[in-house]
Chain A
Amino acid sequence: MTATPPTAARAVLRDPAWSRRVAGTLLVLALCWPLLAATEFAPWRLLDPGSLRPTLAFLATFLPPAHDPEFLGLVARETWRTVAVASAGMTLALVLAVPLTLAATRALSISALTGRMAAGPLAARQALRALLVLLRSVPELVWALVFVRVTGLGATAGVLAIGLTYGGMLGKVYSEILESGETEAGTALLRNGAGRVQAFLHGLLPQNASELLSYTIYRWECAIRSSVVLGFVGAGGLGQALDSATKMFNGGEVATMLIVFVALVALADRASAWLRGAID
């Protein structure tokens, strides 16, 4: 049974996908080389004594982290503001993303029930996708700089910036989650005369709820980091405090705030796991 197959059989047994896979891998490597050159990636410069010494000196001031009651009170207030900016921004993003997702996803197309989507709905979906691309291709930092001019320094600019950029991201990923999962249940409901939102609620949401939830919480976590960055340009919160501490080379304060970030990210991680377990 295990004897070597004759020559003719060996030709048949050659995997037709193999040569394409090898060629694809080589192509990707060839394309990556110029990228490496363009980024001037030279990690050994990190070990240059001239730059290493001041870095280590700054890192040494991280210990002990600042913990006087007055500063802790300030960190608590600014943390609360940061979480509030992130949460309000996410809420705005959801308000934008949910209707856009329902309208843009192929999985809820009624005309595609018969195979190919009709021209009108296809064009409308492409237009919505383009809108989502536009929303998320402008970095939230740029949105924030625009809105700071309109609303002045403060949290409002941060909320608007996160809402727009994250609305675009959520809309794209939500509709891709809905399309990549099993769509049969939703299709069957549409075929039997249910509406699009009904088919989403009863056909698509049950399977995709935990993935949608986990992505949303991950994005909330990103929004917290993002609102810190926006603080650097005057949107308030921990970012602003971190900005001034770094400029003053106050390592202890920087360390305390980094500890708060780690705690917030860990909290989001636990909340995601717990919620996914709860809806399972």
Chain B
Amino acid sequence: MRITVEGLEARPPAARPEAAPALRGVGLRVEAGEQLAVIGPSGAGKTTLLHVLACALVPRAGDLRLDGADPWRLAPRALRTMRGRLFLAPQTPPLPPRQRVVTALLAARLPSMSLLASMAQLVHPTDLGAAFAALAQFDLEEKLFDRVDRLSGGERQRVGLARALLSPARLWLIDEPLSALDPARARQALGTLCDQARARGATLVATLHQVDMALAHFPRIVGLREGAIAFDLPASEVDAARLEALYAGEVAGHDASPPAPGSAHVADEDLVPAAPPVVCR
């Protein structure tokens, strides 16, 4: 799916009305099948951007086109069809805890399923093979018939990502896919997502806090800071100076005094080091 965004302004529904909009004049053009990572400090507007692209948030100003169409000018039925071609994976995987993994996975196919078929799906899941194959991509195939609440946080997150592989979507919007994964799993998960999106020709937009992972897996990197695009470059041109500028003042800006080394604050994922190491190329 092709994305064109111009002069985008948006604010999440829960934001205080007097707060500055989370996105201020964002412009972006993504070709069908392209893969890009959005990086930037916490509160930069990464999730808001994904929500606007997922038609989960109406922009306050600016122009949004998905495959040339403005989703907010579509009739309700057409908008729903459009949503069926999008897949938004929130940071916390939205899996019902009391559902089995297989049912939760196959729910990704609901947009292309009749009501009767989706009812039958609850009692007797069909296409177990596809669900198994999607899980196997994330080394979770033995969890197919387990209940979601029996999984660890990292396993849940990977099931949430495996859902994307089953959805009929042409645009994957993945929010922080690695927040609960260890480095090895994170590398594998991100590699799988990129490979599978490429194999399907689906456009992939992911927000990431792990700068090294973003640089290693994505050909194009968008740096977002304070609701505006700081840079939009091929990964090879993103250097330490740009990253330092992107994350500058992060720790000092939020707190009057920077936390002492070794204090609990440092472990917080919000506090990204001023110059993230550029490794794993």
Contact = CB atoms under 8 A, between A and B. Distances in A.
Interface in A174-207: 182, 184-185, 187-195, 197-199, 201-207
Contact of B115 (A184, A189, A198, A207): A198
B57 interface: yes
Interface stretch (B95-103, B190-198, B234-242): B95-103
A114 B107 contact: no
A192 B122 contact: no
A207 B113 CA distance: 22
Nearest to B12: A115
Contacts of B110: 189, 192-195, 198-199, 202
B7 interface: no
A110 interface: yes
A191 B80 contact: no
A115 B13 CA distance: 5
A209 to B, nearest CB: 8
Given A114-B56, A114-B57, A115-B13, A192 B169 contact: yes
B75 to A, nearest CB: 13
B83 A192 contact: yes
Given A116-B13, A198-B113, A192 B86 contact: yes
Contact of B95 (A185, A198, A280): A185
A206 B167 contact: no
Nearest to A190: B83
B87 to A, nearest CB: 6
A191 B56 contact: yes
A206 B13 contact: no
Nearest to B54: A191
Given A110-B76, A201-B118, A202-B122, A188 B90 contact: yes
B94 A198 contact: no
A190 B82 CA distance: 12
Contacts of A74: none
A142 interface: no
Contacts of A204: 96
Q: Chain A: interface secondary structure? A: helix
A113 interface: yes
Contact of A198 (B14, B88, B97, B118): B118
Nearest to A181: B96
Contacts of A184: 90, 92, 94
Nearest to B94: A188
Contacts of A188: 88, 90, 94
A197 B118 CA distance: 9
A209 B55 CA distance: 30
A210 to B, nearest CB: 8
Contacts of A185: 94-96, 99
B111 A193 contact: yes
A193 B77 CA distance: 10
A145 to B, nearest CB: 40
Contacts of B76: 110
Interface string A115-127: 1100000000000
A165 to B, nearest CB: 29
A203 B96 contact: yes
B133 interface: no
Interface in A45-83: none
A110 B80 contact: yes
Contact of A194 (B14, B54, B96, B111): B111
**In the complex, which of the residues B76, B80, B110 has the most CB atoms of chain A within 10 Å of its own CB atom?**
B110
B84 interface: yes
B81 interface: yes
Given A114-B13, A194-B111, A207 B83 contact: no
B65 interface: no
Nearest to A111: B76
Contacts of B13: 114-116
B185 interface: no
Given A114-B58, A115-B13, A194-B110, A201 B119 contact: yes
B83 A193 contact: yes
Contact of B99 (A110, A115, A199, A206): A206
A194 B58 contact: no
Which 3 pairs of residues, A with B, have the shortest CB-CB distance?
Answer: A115-B13, A193-B84, A188-B94
7 contacts: A114-B13, A114-B55, A114-B58, A184-B94, A193-B80, A201-B122, A206-B98
Interface of A: 110, 113-116, 182, 184-185, 187-195, 197-199, 201-207, 209, 280
Given A116-B13, A185-B96, A192-B110, 6 more contacts: A114-B58, A115-B57, A187-B94, A188-B88, A192-B84, A202-B103
